Chains A and B, each alone.
Chain A
Amino acid sequence: MEQILLFAVLGLGQGALIAGIALGVVVTYRGSGIINLSTGAVAMASAYAFWALTTGFFGFTLPVGPALAGALAVALAVGVLTEVAVFKPLRTVSPLAKLAASLGILLTLQATVLLVFGVQPQQAPSILPADTVTILGVTTPSDRFVLAGLVVVIALVLGALYRWSRFGLATRAASENEQAALLAGLSPNSVSMANTLLAALVAGLLGVLAAPIVQVDSMTLPLQVVPALAAALFAGFTSLWIACTTGILIGVLQSIVYYLSTQSWFPTDNGNAMPGLQQLLVFALMVVALYVRGAGLPRRGELVEKRLPAVPLPERLLRPALMAATVAAAALIVLPFDFRQALTNSMIGMVIVLSYVVITGYVGQISVMQLALSGTAGFVLSHLSVGLGIPFPFSALGAMVLATLLGVAAGVSALRVRGVSLAVVTLAAALAMEQALFNNTSFGGTAGVSVPPPRLFGNDLGPKADFRGLDGNEPSPMFGFLVLAVTVALGLYVAHLRRTGLGRRMLAVRSNERAAAAAGVDVQAVKIAAFAISSFIASAAGTLYGYNFGSVSAARFTALAALGLIGFAYIGGITMVSGAVIAGLMSTEALLPHALDKWFGIKGTWALLFGGVSLIVTLIANPDGIAGAAHRRRTAKRARRTERAAAATGPPTDSASAVGSPEIRLGRTAADAKEVAP
């Protein structure tokens, strides 16, 4: 009992950090309507800055006071940059695009920290008193109480600020109805800026103060935003008070779970306590929060109608597919082994992004857990083929069916959850699966479980097959051909899906669920179908991952990797198959990063930084992604060409093209005619 009390008190430190980040999330949401996934990364940035300033990392050492000021200045600078460079230009885009933008900030911050400070976790000096207090006979460190008290004070001050100041009134007005606030003379931009800065300050301060307790590193600190999001969900993204208390309680509960896992009766996994229960706890809390509070977030009356990236109808499928397949097949034979491997990796990346094209591009739902489904399929494949001795096509199919069933089950239970809430809860699910399932050595493990090469009728189709391409090295092009066949088949299927009735119903659901239901579309069935298709594609990628490396390791299917893939998918163009191809070429260990590394010595971390920055740039300058922009240019060019032809042959007879206003069209035709005449 005393031990539980001790661990509860110890958990106050973690809880204070979670509560601080949760306050940051809620404040940003109230100010700008953005669910800022990078709030934890802000805490990380200022914690690193404080550590560097006090330990002489930059060649000089500052006393605690100026170092704290410096660290907070870093947090504020990040806040200003975020607001000016990202939030302000994206004021009028869809909530999902805003979420993706905050993901871009998270990736950028993480890459910057990795580049500046390296991967080594650091032990930051504590600036809180190190003495102890005794309560109920248990000696506990007093800094935990100071931290928790500080967060509560911050929450109270922020609450008072919102309640009684003119700034608070403006924020509340803007979060109720941005348009009306604008008409009443309040600038949404300055309201948003002030709130973003407040959020950065709170997260930065807690990052500095709690860092000594939780360790400064670039992996766990940014992901502290996940439990913070659970707290924010309980608070309905509105109540500071609930966000603060729930955040602290989550920290305390996680600490108690940790204590229980040290007990002898606790279920173990190869002698160690079952991993991932803290993440499972957060996920379970989120599910509870969504049931208690309802799946919807508070709506804002916003300025401009929000449209997701366009989903153009593909005109030709077979010709580009055949061309790409021929080029890829030739490249697999001709390229040196390292580029052959990179090309194979790229194609597997394309397959996993195809699953996002279906679920996010066509149906408008962000599900972060698709990569975790890939991982599940990979691990199940290993168990089926090694443990049960099932031969190649059946083991892979069995693994895909099992992982698809899991995806459908998740989809069915998340039917009422949509949009941004779905992204948040599937992020927690991905994290829980990563920690509890993949790190559990009886199912997965970081060391990797082996996967035997695929054999069909006695022929080895794996990377170690006898046919070795021109340079005679591994991996064999045979495996590349297998991956290519799967990629082309799934790519064709996803492109074709857009032309079918089911594809149209998916887009109908994406634009308007109410109207779709009134038009006779079974919204839930369409969503389940989308989850099933997307999960099946993701599982196919997972089995290919397994065959590619001959083993499956937890490190490939982390929640952070999933977020990175969604980023790449957005950059490439999340609504189109050609976008998935581009995204695949950019993904981890694919052709583009490999070429950059090989030719210019640019390492993967720079690629991460590049990915984060270009995600933000894409969202601002070109929301349809690279593929969408290319498609728009092509269509515009074709339209010009038809008009020229029409102008040359006489007045246009094709009335279907007369969509826009006829005056403009006639004017342009006349101008074109003038150009052509001489």
Chain B
Amino acid sequence: MNVLSVQQLGVSYGGVHALSDVSLEVGEGQLVGLIGPNGAGKTTFVDAVTGLVAARGRVELDGKDLTGRPPHVRARRGLARTFQSSELFEDLTVAENLQVTADPSTWWTALGETFGRRPSPNPAVPKALAALGLEDLADASAHELSQGRRKLVGVARALAARPRIICLDEPAAGLDTSESAELGRRLRTVADAGTALLLIDHDMSLVMGICDHVVVLEFGKVIASGTPAQVRTDPAVVTAYLGASTVQPATASDTSTGGSAKALTSTPETP
């Protein structure tokens, strides 16, 4: 059964259709990539799925309807996410950042803690830190971390909630090539352990290298979907990335799209 099933999702800002009828499915332990040029609606898609933006359509997690639920309810049901700008809780340490998502937050536990009951340390926190290789940073303050580290802590924070699926919004932006490859290996491990992942990124070698399935968005619509190999050769995708109807070597050398074009055509190393 699919962990996440999104049907006919649509978001409009005034007359602008940021997303129109996007459908997408992520299975258990699957790593699905969501790519597209800047402004294609990838972050809007994640915002709509997690409930931060009002949207039309239907979102299901493990077959249960989440439509109309507020963000924190979706998160507690097992729909975690990271943010493009990491959005850590600056006043807390790294471990405390993870505890916020890991610990149950019922009135009952709050009351128990008020009267001095010490909850047993949550094993999900060290596990999530270890999964991202952040054990050394547990007691560091979130605001003293570098940008790359903040991204990793964001992923660890999502993982600490033991979610069914994590939507990763550009986790590799700001990482160098080797760090990015390292992140890819760690994400693949997380997915293989059973947590489904939806990965948004511009690093094509990362996306093409680790994803089981790739969905391509352009102007808020799905233009292609399939295995990395299928998507890489899809004419619609090539057009979207290169901005021309026919692929000429000259177009590929265009400075603004050259990077992605190269990334698209290069053979990714398998993890």
Contacts and interface: CB of A to CB of B under 8 A. Distances in A.
Given A508-B100, A512-B89, A515-B89, A502 B75 contact: no
B89 A507 contact: yes
Interface string A496-522: 110011101101101110111111111
Given A507-B92, A656-B136, A514 B87 contact: yes
Contacts of A459: none
Contacts of A516: 72, 89, 100
A311 B143 CA distance: 13
A632 interface: no
Nearest to A661: B146
A442 interface: no
Contact of A518 (B50, B99, B113): B50
Given A500-B114, A659-B140, A517 B92 contact: no
Nearest to B71: A517
A493 B87 CA distance: 29
Contacts of A655: 136
A113 interface: no
B56 interface: no
Interface in B56-74: 70-72
Contact of B100 (A514, A519, A529): A519
Interface residues of A, number: 34
Given A504-B96, A656-B139, A511 B71 contact: no
A497 B111 CA distance: 11
A518 B71 contact: yes
Contacts of B50: 518
A311 to B, nearest CB: 5
B227 interface: no
B110 interface: yes
A260 interface: no
A501 B140 contact: no
Given A310-B91, A505-B100, A656-B136, A518 B52 contact: yes
A496 B99 CA distance: 16
Interface in A510-566: 510-512, 514-523, 529
B52 A660 contact: no
Contact of A308 (B88, B91, B119, B157): B91
Contacts of A307: 90-91, 143
A164 to B, nearest CB: 30
Interface size class on chain B is 35 or more
Contact of B87 (A510, A512, A520, A660): A512
Given A517-B75, A518-B52, A510 B91 contact: yes
Given A496-B116, A501-B110, A658-B136, A511 B72 contact: no
Interface majority SS (helix, strand, loop, mixed), chain A: helix
Contacts of A510: 91
Interface stretch (B101-109, B173-181, B249-257, B260-268): B101-109
Contacts of A508: 89, 92, 97, 100
Contacts of A311: 91
Question: Which one of B81, B89, B139 has the greatest number of beta carbons of chain A within 10 Å?
Answer: B89
A308 B89 CA distance: 12
A529 B114 CA distance: 12
B114 A493 contact: yes
Interface in A123-169: none
Nearest to A507: B91
A493 B116 CA distance: 9
Given A307-B143, A519-B157, A522-B105, A500 B110 contact: yes
A646 to B, nearest CB: 16
Given A517-B70, A519-B161, A520-B72, A502 B113 contact: yes
A514 B161 CA distance: 17
Question: Which one of B90, B91, B109, B141 has the greatest number of beta carbons of chain A within 10 Å?
Answer: B91
B76 interface: yes
B137 interface: yes
Contacts of A656: 136, 138-139
Interface in A218-259: none
A504 B116 contact: no
Interface string B207-222: 0000000000000000
A219 B146 CA distance: 50
Nearest to A658: B136
A659 B97 CA distance: 16
A511 B105 contact: no
Nearest to A503: B113
Given A519-B157, A520-B75, A520-B105, A504 B99 contact: yes
A520 B50 CA distance: 10
Interface in B110-139: 110, 113-114, 116, 119, 136-139
Interface of B: 50-52, 70-72, 75-76, 80-81, 83, 87-93, 96-97, 99-101, 103, 105, 109-110, 113-114, 116, 119, 136-141, 143-144, 157-158, 161
18 contacts: A307-B90, A310-B91, A496-B116, A500-B110, A502-B114, A504-B99, A511-B88, A511-B89, A511-B92, A512-B88, A514-B52, A519-B72, A519-B80, A520-B105, A522-B72, A529-B110, A659-B140, A660-B144
Q: Which 3 A-B pairs have the closest CB atoms?
A: A520-B75, A515-B87, A500-B113
Given A307-B90, A313-B93, 18 more contacts: A307-B143, A500-B113, A501-B109, A504-B99, A504-B100, A508-B89, A511-B89, A514-B52, A517-B52, A519-B72, A519-B157, A519-B161, A520-B72, A520-B76, A520-B161, A659-B139, A659-B141, A659-B144
Interface of A: 307-308, 310-311, 313, 493, 496-497, 500-502, 504-505, 507-508, 510-512, 514-523, 529, 655-656, 658-660
